[in-house]
């Protein structure tokens, strides 16, 4: 497979729900990012779930890492990466990145790990450098990692949110010299932490124009993150636009801008069928949604909204799409990974 990336994350904990690496949509995915392994402040790696990684019986192998390596023999187009960190395992990154010796230890440990498990590279999921000092150290970490993982044989990617309040801490033009892709986490714009409900992964403000009819919470958009990256020297073909394979729901809310009581989330594979079949798409925002008697306003991506985002990727010359997670997708015509793949490679008419 060449051209656009269509990258999926595989969290090892999904094996406990009966979802094996072989259950991913491998024919339409280009990269699998294995999530997660943790890191210590001295740069050594630490398992977050050693049983799932190396021992559980899955796909005829011992552990998900061996199962993933096995898949590369039957899907030679596939490139696999180890994702280090994650939202609950990023606390060690600031001290690690600030220490030259720890950075060297980390880079060597990553090289040994990917070689042992027949992987193609590393994804840094430090969520996230919180000030310019940490952003500076982040660049040193990427540079040191690249010395041990030379391209194009090895890949280095990172996952970052689309907000300028994070991206401004990093010299993006310099980061691009070390990175193959920036996985832009183009979701979680709204949730339990916001004051009103809104689309969680919209490309543009709702309703067209600047969305000024809606509260500021509802006007945050992912296109602004793409614009920020491009205007600060990050190449478009290295940006992957993130797709959430889960919903955020807002009980008591009927739409964007409405108050709610107790928001939650649900994986796309666990949706009631009617959420998908009855999904509406705000084509101004590139966002899908539905109303549920119990869950209220439900914000997610549907195949139609993903195809619209894929066209956006083509139009802007971006590198492709990524999905958190490929293990939360639905099969068949409701697959988001499939919708993205077809949208990237088939020049259909706007729906």
Q: Tell whether 351 is covered by a domain.
A: no
pLDDT tens readout for residues 70-110: 999 999 999 999 999 999 999 999 999 999 999 999 999 99
Give the mean pLDDT of the chain.
Answer: 95
pLDDT classification of 1: cutoffs 50, 70, 90:
very low
CB-neighbour burial class of residue 346 (10 A; exposed 0-12, middle 13-18, buried 19+):
exposed
**Average pLDDT of the residues in 339-349:** 81
Per-residue pLDDT, 210: 57
Q: Tell whether 73 is covered by a domain.
A: yes
Q: Tell whether 108 is covered by a domain.
A: yes
Q: Is the pLDDT of residue 242 over 50?
A: yes
Q: Tell whether 291 is covered by a domain.
A: no
For residues 31-44, one letter each, b for 16 or more C-beta atoms within 10 angstroms of the residue's C-beta and e for the rest, the string is bbbbbbbbbebebe
Q: Tell whether 127 is covered by a domain.
A: yes
The number of domains in the chain is 1
pLDDT classification of 347: cutoffs 50, 70, 90:
low
pTM (2 d.p.): 0.95
Q: Tell whether 105 is covered by a domain.
A: yes
Q: Look up the CATH number of the domain holding residue 161.
A: 3.20.20.80
Q: Tell whether 180 is covered by a domain.
A: yes
pLDDT tens readout for residues 164-193: 999 999 999 999 999 999 999 999 999 999
Per-residue pLDDT, 214: 74
pLDDT classification of 346: cutoffs 50, 70, 90:
confident
Q: Tell whether 149 is covered by a domain.
A: yes
CB-neighbour burial class of residue 267 (10 A; exposed 0-12, middle 13-18, buried 19+):
middle
Give the range of the structural domain holding residue 101, as residue numbers without chain letter: 5-243+302-345
């Amino acid at each position: 497979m060449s051209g656009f990336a269509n990258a999926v994350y595989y969290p090892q904990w999904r094996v406990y729900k009966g979802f094996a690496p072989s259950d991913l949509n491998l024919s339409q995915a280009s990269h699998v990012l294995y999530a997660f392994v943790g890191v210590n402040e001295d740069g050594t790696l630490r398992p977050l779930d050693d049983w799932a990684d190396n021992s559980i019986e899955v796909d005829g192998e011992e552990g998900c890492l061996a199962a993933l390596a096995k898949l590369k023999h039957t899907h030679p187009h596939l490139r696999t990466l180890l994702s280090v960190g994650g939202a609950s395992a990023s606390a060690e990154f600031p001290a690690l990145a600030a220490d030259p010796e720890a950075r060297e230890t980390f880079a060597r440990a990553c090289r040994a790990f990917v070689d042992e498990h027949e992987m193609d590279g590393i994804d840094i999921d430090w969520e996230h450098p919180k000030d310019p000092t940490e952003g500076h150290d982040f660049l040193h970490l990427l540079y040191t990692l690249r010395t041990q993982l030379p391209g194009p044989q090895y890949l280095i990617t990172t996952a970052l949110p689309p907000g300028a309040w994070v991206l401004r801490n990093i010299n993006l033009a310099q980061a691009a010299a070390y990175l193959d892709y920036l996985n832009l986490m183009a979701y979680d714009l709204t949730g339990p932490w916001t004051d009103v409900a809104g689309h969680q992964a919209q490309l543009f403000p709702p309703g067209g124009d600047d969305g000024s009819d809606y509260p500021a919470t509802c006007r945050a958009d992912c296109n602004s993150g793409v614009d920020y990256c491009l205007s600060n020297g990050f190449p478009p073909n290295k940006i992957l636009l993130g797709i959430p394979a889960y919903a955020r729901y807002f009980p008591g809310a009927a739409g964007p801008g409405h108050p709610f009581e107790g928001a939650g989330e649900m994986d796309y594979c666990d949706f009631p069928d009617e959420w998908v079949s009855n999904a509406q798409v705000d084509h101004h925002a590139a966002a899908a949604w539905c109303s549920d008697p119990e869950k209220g306003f439900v914000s997610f991506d549907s195949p139609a909204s993903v195809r619209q985002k894929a066209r956006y990727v083509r139009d802007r010359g971006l590198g492709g799409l990524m999905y958190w997670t490929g293990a939360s997708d639905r099969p068949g015509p409701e697959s988001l990974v499939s919708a993205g793949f077809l949208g990237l490679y088939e020049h259909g008419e706007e729906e």
